[in-house]
Amino acid sequence: MRYLSGLAWGWLGTVSATSQTISTQGIYDLVKRRIPQHVDSFEFSLVNATPSVVLSASEKPNDQFVVSTSDDGKILVEGNSISALSSGMFIINNYHRLHKYLSDIAHVGIYWYIGNRLDLAPSELPRLNEPLKGSSVVPWRYDLNTVTFSYTASFWDWEEWELQLDWMSLHGVNLPLAWVGFEKTLVEVFQEIGLTDAEIFSFLSSPAFQAWNRFGNIQGSWGGELPYSWIENQFNLQKQIVARMAELGMTPVLPAFTGFVPRAITRVFPNASVVEAPSWGNFPPQYSNDSFLEPLDDHFGPLQNSFISKQKAAYGNVTNIYALDQYNEINPFSGNTTYLTDIAASTINSLKAADPNAIWMMQGWLFYEAESFWTADRIEAYLSGVANSGDMLILDLFSESKPQWQRTDSYHGKPWIWCMVHDYGGNQGIYGQIENITQNSMQALASSPSMVGLGLTMEGQEGNEVVYDLLLHQAWSETPVDTEQYFHNWVTARYAGSGSIPQGLYHGWEILRATAYNNTNLTASICVTRSIFVNEPAISGLLDWTGFDPTIVVYDPADLVQVWKYVFEAAAAQPALWSNPSYQYDLVDITRQVMANGWGTIYADLCDLYAQSNASSAEIYAQGAKMIGLLNSIDTVLSTNRNFQLSRWIDAARAWAQGNESEAAYYEYSARNQITLWGPNGEIDTYAAKDWSGLVSTYYVPKWQIFVEYLASTPTADYNQTELHSQVLAFELKWQTEPLDIESKEQDLQYVVKQVVEAWPDLFSG
């Protein structure tokens, strides 16, 4: 006899036949992986279960769960989906309304980089005196951007994906993007129509740039040709990923055939309707101006059918939602409204012919990025090509800063998801918009009947995890989350395993909540900031950048110094924190940010000194030495944690070569190039820059040394940025392939931080 007797069943409904065909084994396996000591402590039951594959993007019901203690002392989690069950198990640990269940006993969680901390749960779980209920306020919780697969996950292996998928499941994600291994299917489709391997592989891009090849922004691979072994290995990884998504009750969003093809397509289809896409990102025609087989062409439908059929054969019938973006940062061949309607109609028809239940998912980014092209009438014309609104699902990609749903009349009734980009290129500044993502998202839900989800669409998943966690928690609350209580509970769970939590940690995170994580000045900053020193050296123009790669700091830097003091001194009250991976990561990150903020001041002083015209070379060298010295200290701090090391990124890239040295060198070049020049000659230079040990010492330091040498030897009146750029670029190009001494040499964090504080007392005394 269940503890709930009729309560849960009355709330969730009755058991349907569908629930009998959905296995809960995936959620039990998750418990075995992450909380092995409690494999027998949980019981999961599906009630009135809903299938993961739906016929309309707007018809999926919200998820619901009830958590109680069964008669035999187990934690009983009942829900109408696998996602509801995993959310019910985890959210009682972390969600602000239900956090009391384990807040003062377990304090456990699972995190990016830090990894699993759920196994710190107590040996005996407490009984619940009354059931806890939860209901999502939106049916879909989406995760990942197409470019996240390049900026963050280019070289992930199964271990990293397994952690990511468990994180998604426990945070309620039920609609994840699944782009890995796309090239395998695409190559087979192209081979099937008679394109040669040489023609196909001249089109494909290297691992760190595949996202933009998939978008039709770039083609080809500078630095060498993509090995077929990469394609095969990524395909095998994708099979594991998709299978696990299905096990965890998620609906994978798989790619479709978009229409971007090798230039040789006109050899096999001489009369095909092929147009040339505009150039993108300053790339020369060799690497851009992709060929686009228009959906209006008779060959498009058969290629779409072949692509989707091959995917279904490989992964099973796990989804009917397909990602398809035709105009990501490239405008259509024509702005004629009839043409745009016909393009969309032909696209959805090709999907429906391949899968009668197909739902076309696209990013709404184009309507913001190319706003001058996408006028109101063109947007309406394009979207009207999909006659049945439920056949489309649109990601309002940048809702927290530049929402498009209002100006598009809620995408003219098409189901859409309120998303947060937050981070561009994997930049690492401490930054958030917690007021926008809690209040604005719920205002949108109340105002737009066609809003069906909340989602994470970050370009790079490189930190600030609390912000992403918060948005997914908002999906379970009808009112804006109480961020003060939420941050308090975040600290409690984040630093589990160290005994009592010092009050200083709560004080520090409360300051972060009110300052760095609560930017509302969107005129100044719309996304994560970056350190000034990652940019190309220049005498002006680097301070207070806005846009997608901002350097402006929208909080008082003194507030962050106060945060640092609270966090650093917490370990004096609780020395066990020095061994806590969460504390280690956060202290490195906060220390890095304090030092990066301070570096900007030293750089500005050098620029002011040089502008005086009468400064001596000795004075410039002295100020420059201070600037370079702080960079070296930043590198040392970053070296204490594997997650902030260049070697981690390069080692992961080289590992895919499985001992083949030529392939390892190719992957390493791709990895290095993305985070520096972003193109063979710096076409998108520094966009994906990182604050990483090894990168600071071998890349940024030499560049700023060139800068100091140039200032010391060049009179102010003769300063020439083009001349300086040439010197810097020569170094950058050489760095792409020269041997690096960046082996992981982790130093003791406690020792390093104390040494840095002694060396730079002014930075930490504000």
140-143 and 175-176 as β-strands: parallel, antiparallel, unpaired? parallel
Task: State the pLDDT confidence band at 90, using cuts at 50, 70 and 90.
Answer: confident
pLDDT band at 96 (very low <50, low <70, confident <90, very high): very low
| 394 sits in which H/E element | strand 392-396
Residue-wise pLDDT tens digits, 31-82: 999 999 989 999 999 999 977 678 899 999 999 999 889 989 998 999 999 9
pLDDT at residue number 21 = 66
pLDDT at 22: 86
3-class SS at 480? Answer: coil
Q: How far apart are CA 607 and CA 543, in angstroms?
A: 11
The residue behind tokens 């002006």 is: 540
Q: How far is Cα 300 from Cα 257, in angstroms, rounded to an integer?
A: 9
Assess whether pLDDT exceeds 60 at residue 515: yes
pLDDT at 97: 42
Q: pLDDT of 17-42, one tens digit each?
A: 333 468 999 999 999 999 999 899 99
Q: Which H helix or E strand runs over 672? A: helix 661-674
User: What is the predicted pLDDT for the residue at 91?
Assistant: 64
For residue 94, the model assigns a pLDDT of: 43
Question: Counting Cβ atoms within 10 Å, is residue 449 exposed (0-12), middle (13-18) or buried (19+)?
Answer: exposed
- What percentage of residues in the chain have a pLDDT greater than 70? 95
**Conformational region of residue 69, where left means phi above 0, alpha means psi within -120 to 50, and beta covers everything else:** beta
pLDDT for residue 483 is more than 70: yes
Confidence of residue 237 (pLDDT cuts 50, 70, 90): very high
Give the per-residue pLDDT at 270: 98
What CATH class does 505-764 carry? mainly alpha
Tally of CB atoms within 10 A around 380: 16
Q: Report pLDDT for 9.
A: 39
CATH of domain 7-135: 3.30.379.10
Pairing assessment for the beta strands 64-69 and 75-79 based on DSSP bridges: antiparallel
Domain ranges of the chain: 7-135, 140-482, 505-764
294 or 110: whose pLDDT is higher?
294
Residue 117 above 80 pLDDT? yes
Rounded Cα–Cα distance for residues 112 and 108 (Å): 14
Q: What does the pLDDT read at residue 533?
A: 98
Global confidence as pTM: 0.96
Tell me what the mean pLDDT of segment 5-21 comes to. 40
For the segment 587-607, the average pLDDT, to the nearest whole number, is: 98
- The alpha helices in 113-270, defined as continuous H runs, are 148-151, 158-170, 182-192, 197-201, 210-214, 228-247, 265-268
User: What pLDDT score was predicted for residue 118?
Assistant: 86
Q: pLDDT-based confidence at 279, cuts 50/70/90? A: very high
Q: Which two tokens stand for residue 661?
A: 């040295």
- 520 burial class (0-12, 13-18, 19+ CB within 10 angstroms)? exposed
Name 392's bridge partners: 360
Lowest-confidence region among 116-120, 198-202, 351-355:
116-120
The HSE-up count of residue 631 (CA atoms within 13 Å, CB side) is: 25
Give CA–CA dist 393/516, Å, rounded: 33
Indicate the average pLDDT of the chain: 93
Is residue 689 very low, low, confident or very high in pLDDT (cuts 50, 70, 90)?
very high
Q: At residue 431, does pLDDT exceed 60?
A: yes
Query: What is the strand order of the sheet 291-293 is part of?
Result: 260-261, 291-293, 274-276
654 HSE (CA, 13 A, CB side): 14
* Res. 125: pLDDT tops 80: no
Above pLDDT 90, what percent of the chain?
86
14 band by pLDDT with thresholds 50, 70 and 90? very low
81 burial (CB, 10 Å; 0-12 / 13-18 / 19+) is buried
Cα–Cα dist 566/466, whole Å: 18
β-strand pairing of 416-420 with 451-456 = parallel
Backbone angles phi, psi at 677, to 5 degrees: -75, -30
Confidence of residue 542 (pLDDT cuts 50, 70, 90): very high
Lowest mean pLDDT among 141-155, 308-322, 742-756: 742-756
Which two tokens mark 517?
A: 């994580």
Instruction: Please list the helix, strand and coil fractions of the chain in percent, rounded to the nearest 5, in that order.
Output: 50, 10, 40
pLDDT at 5 over 50: no
pLDDT for res 126: 72
Average pLDDT on 362-375 reads: 98
CB atoms within 10 A of CB 329: 17
pLDDT for the residue numbered 743: 75
* Residue, of 105 and 410, whose pLDDT is higher: 410
* Cα 581 off chain centre by: 21
Cβ-count burial of 457 within 10 angstroms (0-12 exposed, 13-18 middle, 19+ buried)?
A: buried
Token output for 311:
């995917």
100: pLDDT strictly greater than 80: no
Residue 95 pLDDT class (50, 70, 90 cuts): very low
What is the residue type of 634? I
Q: How would you classify residue 504: left for phi > 0, otherwise alpha for psi between -120 and 50, otherwise beta?
A: alpha
Question: Tokens in use for 422?
Answer: 């937050």
- Of the candidate CATH numbers 3.50.50.60, 3.40.50.300, 3.20.20.80, 3.40.50.2300, the domain formed by 140-482 belongs to 3.20.20.80
